[in-house]
Amino acid sequence: AAAEKGGFSSFMDKEIHDQPAAVRDTLLGRLDERGRLSLDELHIDEAVLRSVDKIVVIACGTAAYAGQVARYAIEHWCRIPTEVELAHEFRYRDPIVNEKTLVVALSQSGETMDTLMAIRHAREQGAKVVAICNTNGSSIPRESDASLYTHAGPEIAVASTKAFLAQITAAYLLGLYLAQLRGNMYADEIVDVVDELQKMPEKIQEVIDAEEQVKKLGTDMVDSSSVLFLGRHVGFPVALEGALKLKEIAYIHAEGFAAGELKHGPIALIEEGQPVFVVVPSPRGRDSLHSKVVSNIQEIRARGAITIVIAEEGDESVSDYANHVITVPQAPTLLQPLLATVPLQVFACALAGAKGYDVDQPRNLAKSVTVE
Ligand code: G6P
Q: Answer yes or no: 216 catalytic.
A: no
Residue from 132, 160, 345, 370 to probe ligand 1 pocket by mutation (most atoms less than 8 Å from CB): 160
Decide whether any atom of ligand 1 lies within 6 Å of the 368 Cβ: yes
pLDDT digits (tens, 9 = 90+) for 200-254: 999 999 999 999 999 999 999 999 999 999 999 999 999 999 999 999 999 999 9
Decide whether any atom of ligand 1 lies within 6 Å of the 60 Cβ: yes
**Spatial distance between the Cα atoms of 28 and 153, rounded to a whole number of angstroms:** 13
pLDDT digits (tens, 9 = 90+) for 189-198: 999 999 999 9
Encode 247-280 in three state secondary structure. Answer: HHHHCCEEEEEEHHHHHHCHHHHCCCCCEEEEEC
Q: In this structure, are residues 70 and 98 in contact, taking their beta carbons and an 8 Å threshold?
A: no
CA 156 / ligand 1 centre spacing (Å): 12
**Spatial distance between the Cα atoms of 135 and 109, rounded to a whole number of angstroms:** 6
CA 108 / ligand 1 centre spacing (Å): 7
Decide whether any atom of ligand 1 lies within 6 Å of the 103 Cβ: no
- What is the predicted pLDDT for the residue at 1? 66
pLDDT digits (tens, 9 = 90+) for 135-148: 999 999 999 999 99
Maximum distance among all alpha carbons in the chain? 58
Amino acid at 67: G
**Spatial distance between the Cα atoms of 245 and 256, rounded to a whole number of angstroms:** 11
CA 234 / ligand 1 centre spacing (Å): 20
Q: In this structure, are residues 279 and 235 in contact, taking their beta carbons and an 8 Å threshold?
A: yes
What's the pLDDT band for 6 if we cut at 50, 70, 90?
confident
Please compute the mean of the pLDDT values over residues 122-143 and round it to a whole number: 97
More confident residue, 32 or 130: 130
**Spatial distance between the Cα atoms of 321 and 175, rounded to a whole number of angstroms:** 37
CA 4 / ligand 1 centre spacing (Å): 22
Please compute the mean of the pLDDT values over residues 78-105 and round it to a whole number: 95
Residue from 368, 370, 371, 372 to probe ligand 1 pocket by mutation (most atoms less than 8 Å from CB): 368
- What is the predicted pLDDT for the residue at 67? 98
Dihedral sign computed on CA atoms, order 316, 318, 320, 322: negative
pLDDT digits (tens, 9 = 90+) for 66-88: 999 999 999 999 999 999 999 99
- ipTM of the complex, rounded to two decimals: 0.94
Ligand 1, atom 4, residue with closest C-alpha: 61
CA 212 / ligand 1 centre spacing (Å): 28
Please compute the mean of the pLDDT values over residues 104-118 and round it to a whole number: 97
pLDDT digits (tens, 9 = 90+) for 295-330: 999 999 999 999 999 999 999 999 899 999 999 999
Q: In this structure, are residues 246 and 348 in contact, taking their beta carbons and an 8 Å threshold?
A: yes
CA 342 / ligand 1 centre spacing (Å): 18
* Coil vs helix vs strand at 326: strand
* Coil vs helix vs strand at 60: coil
**Spatial distance between the Cα atoms of 243 and 249, rounded to a whole number of angstroms:** 10
- What is the predicted pLDDT for the residue at 94? 87
pLDDT, averaged across the chain: 96
pLDDT digits (tens, 9 = 90+) for 149-193: 999 999 999 999 999 999 999 999 999 999 999 999 999 999 999
Decide whether any atom of ligand 1 lies within 6 Å of the 125 Cβ: no
Has this prediction a pTM greater than 0.95?
yes
Decide whether any atom of ligand 1 lies within 6 Å of the 139 Cβ: no
Ligand 1, atom 11, residue with closest C-alpha: 368
**Spatial distance between the Cα atoms of 116 and 334, rounded to a whole number of angstroms:** 28
Among candidate residues 247, 292, 355, 367, the one labeled active-site is: 367
Q: What are the respective helix, strand and coil percentages of the chain, to the nearest 5?
A: 50, 15, 35
- pLDDT(33) > 90: no
What's the pLDDT band for 32 if we cut at 50, 70, 90?
confident
- What is the predicted pLDDT for the residue at 188? 93
Decide whether any atom of ligand 1 lies within 6 Å of the 160 Cβ: yes
CA angle, residues 233, 237, 239, in degrees to nearest 5: 100
**What atom in ligand 1 is closest to the CA of residue 140?**
15
Long-range contacts of 362-366 (CB under 8 A, 24+ apart): 362/158, 362/159, 362/248, 362/249, 362/251, 363/251, 365/158, 365/159, 365/248, 366/158
- What is the predicted pLDDT for the residue at 257? 97
What's the pLDDT band for 2 if we cut at 50, 70, 90?
confident
**Spatial distance between the Cα atoms of 231 and 259, rounded to a whole number of angstroms:** 5
Residue from 60, 162, 246 to probe ligand 1 pocket by mutation (most atoms less than 8 Å from CB): 60
Decide whether any atom of ligand 1 lies within 6 Å of the 63 Cβ: yes
